[in-house]
Structure 1
Amino acid sequence: MAVPFYENQQEIMFFQQQWKAQLKEIIQQTELINGSQVDSFEREMEQFTGIKNAIAVGNGTDALIIGLTAAGVGVGDEVIVPCYSFFASVSCILHVGATPVFVDIEAESYAMNSTSIEAAITPKTKAIMPVHLFCQMADMPSIREVAERHQLLIFEDSAEAIGMYQNGVHAGGFGLGGVLSFFPTKTLGALGDAGMILTNNDKFAKACRQLGNLGRDESGIAQRIGFNSRMDEWHAMVLRSRFSVLEENIQARSANSDYLTTSLNAQAPMVKTPIFNSRGYDANRVDYVYLIEVDNRDALAQHLALAGITTETYYPIPLHMQPICRHLGYRQGDFPVAEKASTCALGLPMHAEMQQHQLDDIVQCIQNFYKE
């Protein structure tokens, strides 16, 4: 039986009748964008994260670009960023005219190695942009210590990190701000693109809100060159419903992750299961992606595909080796940890609706591959 990488049909069916009634109300109202549903969703995210301001935008990539723009990052500035991430983590820096300066990652968390930051700082450095990937946050206390010592901004690419905390601080709350993505496959996903900026800084929040609304203030007067990046009422309605079962879904994902880890640990050393790096302080795990490192990654992915099990390769080309970054002068071998991960990391299906037989099929298929 097929095992999709992501599925949410049960949840959609559960909310379908509620959505039909609410959609009828939305169609009849005058505000289809940034209306009452969006406003309520922003307030709910502020309460959930404990972060003072939540600004809804069109998607997570827009959130990154708007945030960097509002922070004053631009031409002549450098932003330190990990070289292992989704492309939006670097495209947002290029969009605002700044220069990405890459650092390597930690082998366990796949996040920026905080011990590498100091050597990457130059007189042009303006910001550090940690990226929280897969199931855990970067080492934010250490990163914040470096940033404060060098008077640098922190803007978090926390697109995957809803529900993740360190020392009681939600992802996106350690520096000037951060972002959330509500892409459909995210732990909290819309039925289309949507995103959010989080910040405790009121001035920064006001700038982000203006930038996302074509640069206009509350009276509709353009104060700056902005973007058309607002959240539809429909997406906010869906997200509010799905938010009501977020904690339940996180728990289900955690149980699925634990089962896979327990079952696949028997395949070591050919299979390396995820490692949560607690770092000695209060932190939690939220299983957005279940990432393993394996011998003969591409052959295993093909073997699983033949069995109907969908996987994702993370990330086949590190950011510093992408053609768009060629002008920066990086070479293969500059960041060995990230480059190794790009050859052996494989994402397995992970979502709240996985059935026991699907988990067993994944485990059995991997076991069979390494027996052959």
Structure 2
Amino acid sequence: MRRHIVEVVENGKFSHGSKVLELESALAAYTGAAHVIGVNSGTDALVLLLRACGLRPGDEVVVPAFSFIASASSVVLAGGRPVFADVEPDGYGLDPGSVAAVAGPRARFVMPVHLFHHLADMTGLGEVARGLGLTVVEDSAEAIGMRYDGVHAGLLGAGGVLSFFPTKTLGALGDAGAVVTNDPDVAEAVGALRHHGRFGRTIDNFPGIATTTGLVGVNSKMDDVQAAVLLAKLGRLEEDIRRRAVLAERYAEALAGVPGVRKLPSVVTRRGSVRGVFYVYVVEVDRRDELAAHLAGLGVGTETYYPVPMHLQPCFADLGHRPGDFPHAEAACRRTLALPLYPDLPPGDVDRVCDAIRSFYLGRRA
């Protein structure tokens, strides 16, 4: 990592420079994407991807009711209108049947979100999208390393995104993100939009200087220091993914059959071959908030994803949704809890977490 950062300092180009270009090339090789465009966050990546794919003011985008708020707020920031759909109870991906039910005449896009450790049903969603004439854009912010029939997440439609928020499977030391796509027109538009709509690039030894402003864009360039960190960590990404899988299996073995633990994460086999990646380890449990407090009292940190479904968030009150509209999403919001998971987590700590969960439900001391 030090070598990459020293190169940034010595080069003197700290944003949108040669280290970002090097990272984009490395990510293209890893994912198989024809084009990778680095930006300053996963949220910006979603906004710019939607704009580059032709979203027009008022266009509707079908998104899951169970996801991080950026999945829907990015639609609004890009000028569109989110339309919520329910998720499948296993894997938490968009339910193709629900998409077909809610998509109206103004719907132009569908945005599956690949959550936690699992890809959405891209075969079923692709069939619905083709039938309704919808463009598929993927919120694959959590999905680096995930593949569907050998194709990396984000490359199963018009394009996708990656987030490099510090806690992600591949994390920077601050915010950073990228758009991945095989469409050269989408790539060119995103590349311009991230740099105030300017076509070309202002780095040494790169053909073309950004002098033409063809679009009204934003300042969403990736910092070279973040690219340097990501380049260093990319070399051990597959080992980190393997380690996460080992720890997830240890959780699964220890928590199987524990009363109160309703559901453990698993890879759902559909019509495609899915390679999941354990970004986080999310279980469904009874008395979720009480369990989280119990674990916190024992020094175990957890995370709740997500306590309020998107269709019931105050910022989307104008859409007129009520409790009960999307029951699977609402059930997930009541029950899901993320347990500690990161590559350097000692196996003994996994055992202690599981002992604490058993003590909560079985009334024994941890």
Same-fold call, TM cutoff 0.5: yes
Q: CA deviation at 1:151?
A: 1.9
Equivalence map 1:44-59=2 (5 Å): 44-59=26-41
Instruction: Name the structure 1 match of 2:222.
Output: 231
In structure 2, give the amino acid aligned to 1:260. Answer: Y
Equivalence map 1:20-169=2 (5 Å): 21-169=3-151
Equivalence map 1:289-328=2 (5 Å): 289-328=280-319
Paired with 1:355 and 1:23, the residues of 2 have a C-alpha distance of 29
Contact 1:270/1:294 (<8 A) preserved: yes
Deviation string for 1:2-58 (max 9, x for gaps)? xxxxxxxxxxxxxxxx41x43233122132112121111111111111111000000
Equivalence map 1:180-329=2 (5 Å): 180-218=162-200, 219-329=210-320
Q: How many residues align?
A: 354
Paired with 2:97 and 2:33, the residues of 1 have a C-alpha distance of 27
In structure 1, give the amino acid aligned to 2:73. Answer: S
Contact 1:265/1:271 (<8 A) preserved: no
Q: 1:214 is paired with a residue of what secondary structure? A: coil
Paired with 1:139 and 1:166, the residues of 2 have a C-alpha distance of 9
Contact 1:316/1:343 (<8 A) preserved: yes
Contact 1:129/1:157 (<8 A) preserved: yes
Instruction: Name the structure 2 match of 1:352.
Output: 343
Q: 1:357 is paired with a residue of what secondary structure? A: helix
Contact 1:191/1:235 (<8 A) preserved: yes
Q: 1:309 is paired with a residue of what secondary structure? A: coil
Paired with 2:24 and 2:134, the residues of 1 have a C-alpha distance of 28
Q: 2:38 is paired with a residue of what secondary structure? A: strand
Q: CA deviation at 1:164?
A: 0.4
Instruction: Name the structure 2 match of 1:334.
Output: 325
Instruction: Name the structure 1 match of 2:204.
Output: none
Q: CA deviation at 1:268?
A: 4.1
Contact 2:244/2:341 (<8 A) preserved: yes
Equivalence map 1:168-187=2 (5 Å): 168-187=150-169
Paired with 1:37 and 1:197, the residues of 2 have a C-alpha distance of 17
Q: CA deviation at 1:266?
A: 2.6
Paired with 2:119 and 2:360, the residues of 1 have a C-alpha distance of 32
Paired with 1:341 and 1:30, the residues of 2 have a C-alpha distance of 47
Paired with 2:21 and 2:39, the residues of 1 have a C-alpha distance of 12
Which range moves more in the overlay, 219-228 or 46-55? Answer: 219-228
Paired with 2:122 and 2:360, the residues of 1 have a C-alpha distance of 38
In structure 1, give the amino acid aligned to 2:325. Answer: D
Unpaired runs of 5+ in structure 1? 1-17
In structure 1, give the amino acid aligned to 2:163. Answer: S
Paired with 2:261 and 2:215, the residues of 1 have a C-alpha distance of 54
Q: 2:61 is paired with a residue of what secondary structure? A: strand
Unpaired runs of 5+ in structure 2? 201-209
Q: CA deviation at 1:269?
A: 5.0
Deviation string for 1:152-203 (max 9, x for gaps)? 1111000000000111111001111000000000000001100000111001
Q: 1:130 is paired with a residue of what secondary structure? A: coil
Instruction: Name the structure 2 match of 1:6.
Output: none
Q: CA deviation at 1:325?
A: 0.4
Contact 1:264/1:271 (<8 A) preserved: no
Contact 1:320/1:330 (<8 A) preserved: yes
Instruction: Name the structure 1 match of 2:206.
Output: none
After the TM superposition, list the runs of 4 or more consecutive aligned residues in structure 1 that deviate by more than 3 angstroms: 268-271
In structure 2, give the amino acid aligned to 1:167. Answer: D
Q: 2:63 is paired with a residue of what secondary structure? A: strand
Paired with 1:31 and 1:311, the residues of 2 have a C-alpha distance of 39
Contact 1:55/1:209 (<8 A) preserved: yes
Q: CA deviation at 1:145?
A: 1.4
Instruction: Name the structure 1 match of 2:203.
Output: none
Q: 1:361 is paired with a residue of what secondary structure? A: helix
State the Cα RMSD in Å: 1.1
Q: 1:112 is paired with a residue of what secondary structure? A: coil
